[in-house]
């Protein structure tokens, strides 16, 4: 019947056929997802709005006077330097550990996988404090870099280990078959395969270092965040502190730009689909002795030092923590607040993560990057901004658990978004199309297909937000409901009067509770699976 | 992303094989549900959720922002609730953070009273016009130098600046007669300082009031040149002096008591000893911790009861016995082991004159003692 | 059972025109194959039908109801057009039964429709399995059952057999065609495999460069392809220059009867199986030299050089010993040839290429 020939066909379709609506759709696919993502990012940007308002109040003159000084330049250089050193060290340590536990026949590698992730459960203020009380006169840049590295290398280890576990071994085999040796295959193929995961982890470490206050204050390294805290302490100078904070935002933008650049290049190496077949494990032979020694040494430094120090404090002091009921109440509050923070964060992160995975494009990227902006701001700035928000906009929320949960969401949104986007990116979009073709509306598809498939990512994000929330102190102090103590605030209360023995149980409980989601993250990455060969 | 790499691309349609993370278990949903549940418990159970509401006058509940440490003042506040039946909701944080929080909250603050670690913070909030004048009856219990001239805040306990020294490494004979001697090169690397501490700042302001800005500037420059050991707070200085890491340190006198408590001993049992500068030296400045009442609660009988309580003899004795501070109400004995306040040769300075903190801050910042 | 009509359907991706005015009628209750080489736009056509993509031009009607057209885009979930993707795409978190019940409403889920379609695809009793416990072929059967379950207006099959072993493919193909037919479904099968299209479909539409070149029954398509390109795409073709006069044409293979009538220079199509070889030269038969002999089991392809140098291929059933290479044979042509006016620049004939020495 319809046999068309080129000459008889209808007019060729030109760009003129795209209406305005067509372009709008192209720019903004998935309007509902986009609207929800924009709302989530708006929440994450509350602190920036606040900063802008307060900085504008300060006036250009003050801004210039305060920022255009050698001291600010020095602080910025030191903050960036610390971030660079720690990030580099974390990448080396994280990638090496991940490779050892996923790609070699190292004895006890599952045990070491857990050990390598556990430092996530140790807040930097506890680790730094442990180091200071173990080694006399430990202070300055390099000790701070050491402690921060030991606390934050799991941020690189976990995603890289998961990527190594899932990477397609065929590429490596091809490389070997083409005559590249083991080391060159590692540098030319394996490292490239895991580059996106490494870059993502490195960005988290860098932002974590920028925002860290605990380690740098205890180890007396003057970074930007410490300067901001000092500005608050010095004569209650809110404006000055906030003006300094705007520099941190600028530094964050710098880091984000760097990571975005690597990501663009790295995306090409992203794995498509999954490998059914695990990579062959390298036989270490006698080399497993130095490898074991190195991993044990890192674990001893990262976990042993805090553990021994806590135990010693617990035994040597005489101050005693409150009754068991008080400790339990603090633990309950920590648990409840962190879970609420994780729940709210995941709620906000979900649309943005799905948008990034399902409708990638400049708009999704822009929203994703914006979500990171507040991530490196010190907790005290986040705290004040939400006080401002609570007092002026959301009065009924003020000094309720919800506002604190919102603060956690603001601080930790990027952790959650990345986890969701990663999981959603692995689920083939074809499944959602099939579901739609079977007559289910967008919401039903979300509920019955997308969410169940993204659940592992949601879980990983929630675990990460949860344990980061457990450790958070400055924003918690400012925003917690009056009269609500958490493990972190009780720890602060005790240590600021030198009641270390009283503080120790809170610290131990904090680390112990945080260790559970950490364990789960390790298991979730498949690092505890029994191998088929 | 921690598990999958965030840039995992969408599989192309040509892809024949793919793996989908199969959620094998349901517990996650259960955990999430449990989380929300327990959160609901936190929200409702702690009574925290209505903390944002400014209480009504006379509702037997007050909200106190306490810059003083919970360990130190909670027993006192508990006693207040026991005696009066008034519930105290207390927000603990650093004095500086709470001052910033109060200023940010402005007139909407749910706080009834601000219990601050030092007079400077009280002055900063008072300057914003956020405090209500206190009743004369309360003010008159306290010497003029320890309260606001306009009656906006009142000191409740006093502390003296001292030089803490390690009795093993520093013979009493070598102790300086004046704080200004610490700029002498013989103290190089031997002095512990907490320049971010409000008490230190008040002390620098006192130098400016007593001796002029130039002298203060020279003193800070001299200290800086002597490469002092900077610490975050007074407790750390006292600990380090006690363990011999630092020979001497500028602190408030009562920290000795706190450190002794943690070590399970009395101040006498420590290596660290206190040196009160003689002769009205600025180094012996006496400062206060105090309280101010927010305007909103000017007429609240419960808040008034709280201020009354802090100034009654029993509470004053608590400060002397439990926190090693000086009572400010006359007729209450000084803490054991330190000379009575009346015997101290304190400099002739009115705390109200220490309200030019911003100049001091600028000076300390420029001295390079802080980041 | 619904008739689906596409008229002037166009779709562009940036500068690339994927569909360039597709006209196609999918008859109700039949299986229509959309056949085309890679990149011809057949997957885009399927996605436009399903509602995953918006049209840039043209309309799509299902039973007279416009589901896509200027200013109109009925979302995928309201079209009642079910998709069976290439890779099956079973929901990994749902059992087989739950996968099949996915498109059913609450009431239908309680009925026996799930068991009915499972039986239809030959997997009765598999309802409790999880997708990863099934073989690739079984997964595809479930995917078809899932698409059939809600009795959609149209079932779209996107190269559903391409990921399977050749051995499995034929059986599955047959079973699925039977399942579709038993259920009375209207279906569109997108494929690049002409054997699959011809053997399974009731109608075949050949798509090239975003246009439907021909849509016909498999036999008509094979015997009377619209042009040389189609001729070559749907099967092995012997294309010969010829001169026609009325219902015959003079070709290197002799004067052959042609379908229809033509005059002047033409190109004629003869299928290799129309060529018959005789042992010896003689009589009216054209003679040729055997160049090569490819044995295929069920038949054999013999490459020949005619006396005038023209090369042709014959498909023969090799009953005895193969014809030796270099032997002289006689060539007869059975049936009629298809003739087109000779084009000055004929379209290059695509694969499968003629296996001519």
Domains of chain B by residue range = 53-158+286-338, 159-285+356-367
Q: Cα-flanking dihedrals φ and ψ of residue C21, to 5°?
A: 85, 70
Q: By the 8 A CB rule, do C18 and A401 touch?
A: no
Closest to B258 (Cα-Cα) out of A500, A492, A324: A500
Could you tell me which CATH class the domain B159-285+356-367 is placed in?
alpha beta
Tokens at residue C275, please? 């060529």
Quick: pLDDT tens for A504-523: 888 888 988 998 888 888 88
Res C350 pLDDT > 50: no
| d(C-alpha C112, C-alpha C110), whole Å | 7
Is A437 close to C102, i.e. CB distance below 8 A?
no
> What are the residues whose beta carbons fall under 8 Å from the beta carbon of A210, sequence distance 6 or more?
A79, A83, A223, A224, A225, A248, A251, A252, A255, A376
| d(C-alpha A181, C-alpha B256), whole Å | 65
Looking at A455-469, A471-485, C273-287, which range is the least confident one?
C273-287
Angle at the Cα of C42 (from C41 to C43), degrees rounded to 5? 95
> Is the whole-model pTM more than 0.90?
no
> What is the fold, at CATH topology level, of the domain defined by A30-50+317-533?
MetI-like fold (1.10.3720)
Q: Which chains touch B (3 or more CB pairs under 8 A)?
A: A, C
Q: By the 8 A CB rule, do A363 and A34 touch?
A: yes
DSSP B306: H
> What is the fold, at CATH topology level, of the domain defined by B53-158+286-338?
D-Maltodextrin-Binding Protein; domain 2 (3.40.190)
Q: By the 8 A CB rule, do B116 and B98 touch?
A: yes
Quick one: closest CA in A to B236, which residue? A498
> What are the residues whose beta carbons fall under 8 Å from the beta carbon of A118, sequence distance 6 or more?
A154, A302, A303, A515, A518
Res C150 pLDDT > 60: yes
Output the pLDDT for position A378. Answer: 81
Res B14 pLDDT > 60: no
| d(C-alpha A250, C-alpha A260), whole Å | 15
Quick: pLDDT tens for A366-398: 888 888 888 878 887 888 888 888 888 888 888
> What is the fold, at CATH topology level, of the domain defined by C4-228?
Rossmann fold (3.40.50)
Mean pLDDT of A283-311: 88
Using CA atoms, how far residue A101 sits from A281, B62, C73, in Å, is 10, 56, 52
Is C87 close to B22, i.e. CB distance below 8 A?
no
User: Is A110 strand, coil or helix?
Assistant: helix
Average pLDDT, chain B: 81
**Domain chopping of chain C, boundaries:** 4-228, 236-341
Type and span of the H or E element at A324: helix A324-358
User: Is C34 strand, coil or helix?
Assistant: strand
Closest to A81 (Cα-Cα) out of A225, A223, A253: A223
Quick: pLDDT tens for C17-43: 899 999 999 999 999 999 999 888 888
Is B22 close to C93, i.e. CB distance below 8 A?
yes
Quick one: closest CA in B to A482, which residue? B91
- List the strands of the sheet with C328-333, edge to edge: C275-278, C328-333, C286-295, C300-306, C311-316
Mean pLDDT of A188-211: 86
Q: By the 8 A CB rule, do B249 and B241 touch?
A: yes
Res B326 pLDDT > 50: yes
String of DSSP letters for B97-110: HHHHHHHHHGGG--
Quick one: closest CA in B to C94, which residue? B22
Q: Which of the four pLDDT bands, split at 50, 70 and 90, describes residue B77?
A: very high
| d(C-alpha A75, C-alpha A227), whole Å | 8
- For residue C339, list its beta bridge partners: C268
Exposure letters A111-124 (e unless 16+ CB within 10 A, then b): ebbbbbbbbbbbbb
Alpha helices in C184-340 (DSSP H): 194-200, 218-223, 228-234
Tokens at residue C60, please? 């799509």
| d(C-alpha B200, C-alpha C247), whole Å | 115
Provide the greatest CA pair distance for chain C.
76
Output the pLDDT for position A408. Answer: 92
Res A14 pLDDT > 70: no
Closest to C137 (Cα-Cα) out of C104, C174, C112, C101: C174
User: Is A251 strand, coil or helix?
Assistant: helix
Distance of CA B277 to the CA centre of its chain: 23
Output the pLDDT for position C280. Answer: 65
| d(C-alpha C214, C-alpha C239), whole Å | 19
Closest to A266 (Cα-Cα) out of A325, A321, A194, A206: A194
| d(C-alpha A521, C-alpha C177), whole Å | 47
Type and span of the H or E element at B66: strand B61-66
| d(C-alpha B354, C-alpha B349), whole Å | 8
Res A27 pLDDT > 60: no
- For residue C306, list its beta bridge partners: C288
Looking at B23-37, B182-196, C338-352, which range is the least confident one?
B23-37
> What are the residues whose beta carbons fall under 8 Å from the beta carbon of A343, sequence distance 6 or more?
A405, A462, B32, B35, B36, B39
Closest to B155 (Cα-Cα) out of B346, B14, B292: B292
Res A169 pLDDT > 60: yes
Contacts of C85 in chain B (CB under 8 A): 13
Is A496 close to B358, i.e. CB distance below 8 A?
no
Output the pLDDT for position C246. Answer: 87
Res B171 pLDDT > 80: yes
Is A525 close to B48, i.e. CB distance below 8 A?
no
| High-pLDDT (> 70) share of chain B, % | 85
A394 C-beta neighbours (distance < 10 Å), count? 16
> Do C4-228 and C236-341 show the same overall fold?
no
Res C345 pLDDT > 70: no
Res A33 pLDDT > 50: yes
Output the pLDDT for position B7. Answer: 36
Q: Which chains touch A (3 or more CB pairs under 8 A)?
A: B, C
Quick: pLDDT tens for A235-290: 566 777 788 888 888 888 888 888 777 665 544 333 333 334 566 777 777 888 88
Higher pLDDT: A62 or B230? It is: B230
Closest to C338 (Cα-Cα) out of C238, C250, C269: C269
Q: Which of the four pLDDT bands, split at 50, 70 and 90, describes residue A149?
A: very high
| d(C-alpha A501, C-alpha A513), whole Å | 19
Closest to C148 (Cα-Cα) out of C108, C178, C180, C126: C180
| d(C-alpha A92, C-alpha B370), whole Å | 33
Output the pLDDT for position A318. Answer: 63
> What are the residues whose beta carbons fall under 8 Å from the beta carbon of B106, sequence distance 6 or more?
A391, B128, B130
Q: By the 8 A CB rule, do A67 and A272 touch?
A: no
Is A178 touching C (CB cutoff 8 A)? no
Is B15 touching C (CB cutoff 8 A)? yes
A215 C-beta neighbours (distance < 10 Å), count? 31
Q: By the 8 A CB rule, do B63 and B111 touch?
A: yes
Q: Which of C86, C92, C132 sits opposite B13 (nearest CB)?
A: C86
- Please state whether the peptide bond connecting residue A320 to the residue before it is cis, i.e. omega within 30 degrees of 0: no
| d(C-alpha C76, C-alpha C51), whole Å | 4
Closest to B152 (Cα-Cα) out of B290, B37, B28: B290
Output the pLDDT for position C284. Answer: 55
Is B82 touching C (CB cutoff 8 A)? no
Tokens at residue A529, please? 């699976």
Average pLDDT, chain A: 81
Is A434 close to C20, i.e. CB distance below 8 A?
no
Which residue out of A7, A426, A439, A446 would a mutagenesis test of the C interface target, given it has the greatest number of C Cβ atoms within 10 Å? Answer: A439
**Torsion sign (Cα): A488, A494, A497, A502:** negative
Q: Which chains touch C (3 or more CB pairs under 8 A)?
A: A, B
> What are the residues whose beta carbons fall under 8 Å from the beta carbon of C254, sequence distance 6 or more?
C284, C286, C333
Average pLDDT, chain C: 86
Output the pLDDT for position A334. Answer: 93
Higher pLDDT: A315 or B42? It is: A315
| d(C-alpha A456, C-alpha B281), whole Å | 67
Structurally, what CATH architecture does the domain formed by A69-273+287-301 represent?
Orthogonal Bundle (1.10)
| d(C-alpha A198, C-alpha C129), whole Å | 38
Output the pLDDT for position C14. Answer: 84
Contacts of A428 in chain B (CB under 8 A): 10-11, 15, 18, 20
Q: Which of A4, A430, A439 sits opposite C150 (nearest CB)?
A: A439
- The highest-confidence range among A485-499, B238-252, B255-269, C309-323, by mean pLDDT, is B238-252
Is C93 close to B16, i.e. CB distance below 8 A?
no
Res B18 pLDDT > 80: no
User: Is B29 strand, coil or helix?
Assistant: helix
Mean pLDDT of B361-367: 83
Res A465 pLDDT > 50: yes
Res B176 pLDDT > 90: yes
Q: By the 8 A CB rule, do A36 and A371 touch?
A: no
Contacts of C86 in chain B (CB under 8 A): 13, 16
For chain A, give every residue range classified as CATH 1.10.3720.10: 30-50+317-533, 69-273+287-301
| d(C-alpha C229, C-alpha A485), whole Å | 80
What dihedral do alpha carbons A467, A471, A473, A479 form, nearest 10°? 20
Q: Which of the four pLDDT bands, split at 50, 70 and 90, describes residue A531?
A: low
Output the pLDDT for position A296. Answer: 92
Is A436 close to C77, i.e. CB distance below 8 A?
yes
Mean pLDDT of A85-96: 95
Quick: pLDDT tens for C119-136: 988 899 999 999 888 888
Per CATH, is C236-341 categorized as 3.50.50.60? no
Contacts of C87 in chain B (CB under 8 A): 15-18
Is B17 close to C87, i.e. CB distance below 8 A?
yes
| d(C-alpha A73, C-alpha A430), whole Å | 51
Quick: pLDDT tens for C31-76: 999 999 988 888 899 999 998 888 999 999 998 899 999 888 888 8
- The highest-confidence range among A64-73, A122-131, B152-161, by mean pLDDT, is B152-161
Q: By the 8 A CB rule, do B54 and B296 touch?
A: yes
Is A24 touching C (CB cutoff 8 A)? no
Res A2 pLDDT > 60: no
Q: Which of the four pLDDT bands, split at 50, 70 and 90, describes residue A197?
A: confident
Mean pLDDT of A100-109: 87
Mean pLDDT of A422-447: 84
Res A136 pLDDT > 90: no
> What are the residues whose beta carbons fall under 8 Å from the beta carbon of B242, sequence distance 6 or more?
B166, B259, B270, B271, B272
In the block, which residue shows the tokens 């080396």? A92
Quick: pLDDT tens for C167-210: 778 888 888 888 888 888 899 999 998 888 998 899 999 999 89
Distance of CA C134 to the CA centre of its chain: 28
Q: Which of the four pLDDT bands, split at 50, 70 and 90, describes residue B42?
A: very low
Closest to A267 (Cα-Cα) out of A327, A195, A325: A195
Output the pLDDT for position B22. Answer: 38
Output the pLDDT for position B3. Answer: 36
């Amino acid at each position: 019947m319809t046999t068309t020939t080129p000459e008889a066909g209808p007019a060729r379709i030109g760009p003129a056929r795209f209406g305005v609506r067509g372009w709008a759709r192209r720019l903004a696919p998935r309007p509902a997802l986009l609207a929800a993502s924009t709302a989530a990012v708006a929440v994450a940007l509350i602190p920036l709005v606040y900063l802008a308002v307060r900085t504008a109040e300060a006036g250009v003159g003050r801004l210039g006077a305060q920022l255009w000084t050698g001291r600010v330049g020095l602080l910025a250089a030191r903050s960036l330097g610390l971030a660079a050193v720690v990030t580099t060290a974390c990448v080396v340590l994280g990638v090496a550990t991940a490779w050892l536990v996923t790609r070699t026949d190292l004895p006890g590698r599952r045990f070491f996988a857990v050990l390598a992730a556990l430092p996530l459960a140790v807040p930097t203020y506890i680790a730094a404090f442990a180091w200071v009380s173990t080694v006399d006169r430990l202070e300055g840049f390099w000790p701070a870099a050491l402690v921060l590295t030991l606390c934050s290398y799991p941020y690189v280890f976990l995603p890289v280990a998961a990527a190594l576990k899932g990477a397609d071994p065929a590429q490596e085999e091809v490389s070997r078959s083409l005559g590249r040796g083991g080391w060159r295959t590692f540098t030319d193929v394996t490292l490239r395969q895991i580059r996106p995961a490494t870059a993502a982890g490195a960005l988290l470490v860098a932002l974590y270092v920028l925002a860290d206050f605990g380690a740098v204050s205890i180890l007396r390294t003057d970074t930007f965040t410490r300067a901001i805290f000092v500005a608050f302490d010095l004569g209650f100078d809110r404006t000055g502190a906030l003006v300094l904070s705007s520099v941190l935002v600028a530094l964050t933008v710098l880091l984000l730009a760097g990571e975005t650049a690597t990501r663009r290049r790295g995306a090409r190496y992203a794995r498509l689909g999954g490998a059914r077949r695990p990579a062959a494990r390298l036989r270490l032979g006698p080399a497993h002795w130095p490898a074991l020694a190195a991993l044990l040494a890192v674990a001893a430094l990262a976990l042993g030092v805090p553990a021994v120090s806590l135990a010693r404090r617990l035994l040597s002091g005489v101050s005693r923590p409150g009754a068991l009921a008080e400790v339990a109440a603090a633990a309950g509050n920590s648990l409840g607040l962190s879970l609420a923070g994780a729940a709210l964060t995941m709620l906000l992160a979900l649309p943005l993560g799905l948008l990034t995975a399902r409708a990638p494009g400049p708009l999704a990227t822009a929203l994703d990057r914006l979500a990171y902006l507040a991530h490196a701001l010190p907790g005290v700035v986040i705290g004040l901004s939400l006080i401002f928000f609570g007092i002026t906009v959301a009065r009924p929320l003020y000094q309720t658990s919800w506002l604190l949960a919102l603060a956690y969401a603001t601080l930790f949104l990027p952790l959650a978004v990345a986890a969701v986007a990663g999981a959603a990116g692995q689920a083939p979009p074809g499944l959602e199309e099939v579901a739609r073709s079977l007559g289910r509306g967008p919401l039903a598809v979300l509920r019955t297909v997308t969410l169940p498939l993204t659940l592992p990512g949601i879980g990983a994000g929630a675990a990460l937000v949860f344990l980061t929330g457990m450790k958070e102190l400055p924003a918690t102090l400012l925003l917690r409901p009056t009269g609500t103590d958490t493990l972190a605030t009780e720890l602060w209360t005790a240590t600021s009067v030198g009641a270390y023995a009283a503080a120790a149980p809170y610290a131990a409980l904090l680390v112990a509770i945080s260790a559970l989601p950490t364990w789960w993250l390790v298991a979730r990455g498949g690092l505890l699976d029994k191998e088929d060969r | 992303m921690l598990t999958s790499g965030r840039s995992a691309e969408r599989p192309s349609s040509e892809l024949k094989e793919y793996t989908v993370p199969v959620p094998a278990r349901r517990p996650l949903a259960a955990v999430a549900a449990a989380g929300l549940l327990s959160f609901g418990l936190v929200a409702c159970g702690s009574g925290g959720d209505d903390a944002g509401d400014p209480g009504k006058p006379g509702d037997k509940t007050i909200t106190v922002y306490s810059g003083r440490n919970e360990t130190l003042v909670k027993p006192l506040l508990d006693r207040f609730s026991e005696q009066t039946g008034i519930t105290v909701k207390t927000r603990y944080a650093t004095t500086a953070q709470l001052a910033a929080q109060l200023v940010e909250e402005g007139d909407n603050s749910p706080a009834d009273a601000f219990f601050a670690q030092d007079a400077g913070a009280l002055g900063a909030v008072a300057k914003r016009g956020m405090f209500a004048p206190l009743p004369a009856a309360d003010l008159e219990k306290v010497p003029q130098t320890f309260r606001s001239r306009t009656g906006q805040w009142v000191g409740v306990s006093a502390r003296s600046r001292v030089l803490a020294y390690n009795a093993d490494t520093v013979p009493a004979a070598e102790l300086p007669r004046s704080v200004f001697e610490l700029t002498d090169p013989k103290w190089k690397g031997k002095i512990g300082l907490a320049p971010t501490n409000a008490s230190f700042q008040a002390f620098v302001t006192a130098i400016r009031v007593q001796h002029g800005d130039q002298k203060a500037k020279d003193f800070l420059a001299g200290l800086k040149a002597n490469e002092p050991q900077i610490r975050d707070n007074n407790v750390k200085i006292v600990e380090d002096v006690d363990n011999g890491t630092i020979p001497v340190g500028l602190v408030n006198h009562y920290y000795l008591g706190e450190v002794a408590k943690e070590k399970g001993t009395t101040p006498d049992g420590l290596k660290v000893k206190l040196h009160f500068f003689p002769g009205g030296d600025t180094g012996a400045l006496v400062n206060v911790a105090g309280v101010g009442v927010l305007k909103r609660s000017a007429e609240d009988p419960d808040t008034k009861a709280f201020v009354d309580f802090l100034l009654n003899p029993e509470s004053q004795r608590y400060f002397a016995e439990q926190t090693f501070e000086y009572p400010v109400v006359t007729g209450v004995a000084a803490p054991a082991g330190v000379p009575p306040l009346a015997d101290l040769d304190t400099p002739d300075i009115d705390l109200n004159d220490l309200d030019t903190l911003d100049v001091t801050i600028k000076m300390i910042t420029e001295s390079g003692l802080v980041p | 059972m619904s008739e689906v009509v596409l008229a002037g359907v166009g779709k562009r991706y940036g500068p690339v025109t994927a569909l360039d005015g597709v006209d196609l009628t999918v008859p109700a209750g039949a299986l229509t194959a959309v056949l085309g080489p890679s990149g011809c736009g057949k997957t885009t056509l399927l996605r436009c039908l399903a509602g995953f993509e918006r049209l840039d031009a043209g309309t799509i009607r299902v039973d007279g109801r416009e589901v896509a057209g200027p200013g109109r885009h009925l979302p995928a979930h309201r079209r009642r057009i079910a998709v069976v993707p290439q890779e099956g795409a079973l929901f990994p978190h749902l059992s087989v039964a739950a996968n099949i019940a996915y498109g059913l409403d609450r009431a239908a889920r309680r009925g026996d429709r799930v068991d009915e379609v499972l039986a239809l695809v030959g997997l009765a009793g598999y309802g409790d399995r999880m997708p990863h416990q099934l073989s690739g072929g079984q997964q595809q059967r479930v995917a078809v059952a899932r698409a059939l379950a809600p009795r959609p207006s149209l079932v779209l099959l996107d190269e559903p057999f391409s990921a399977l072993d050749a051995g499995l493919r034929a059986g599955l193909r047959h079973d699925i065609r039977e399942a579709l037919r038993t259920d009375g479904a209207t279906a569109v099968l997108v494929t690049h495999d002409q054997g699959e299209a011809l053997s399974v479909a009731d109608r075949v539409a050949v798509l090239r460069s975003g246009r439907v070149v021909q849509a016909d029954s498999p036999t008509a398509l094979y015997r009377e392809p619209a042009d040389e390109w189609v001729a070559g795409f749907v099967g092995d073709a012997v294309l010969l220059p010829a001169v026609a006069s009325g219902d015959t044409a003079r070709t290197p293979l002799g004067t052959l009867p042609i379908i229809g009538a033509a005059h002047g220079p033409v190109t004629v199509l003869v299928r290799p199986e129309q060529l018959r070889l005789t042992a010896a030269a003689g009589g009216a038969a054209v003679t040729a030299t055997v160049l090569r002999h490819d044995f295929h089991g069920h038949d054999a392809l013999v490459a020949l050089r005619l006396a005038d140098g023209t090369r042709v291929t014959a498909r023969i059933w090799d009953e005895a010993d193969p014809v030796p290479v270099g032997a002289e044979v006689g060539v007869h042509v059975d049936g009629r040839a298809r003739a087109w006016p000779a084009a000055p620049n004929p379209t290059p004939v695509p694969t499968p290429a003629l296996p001519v020495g």
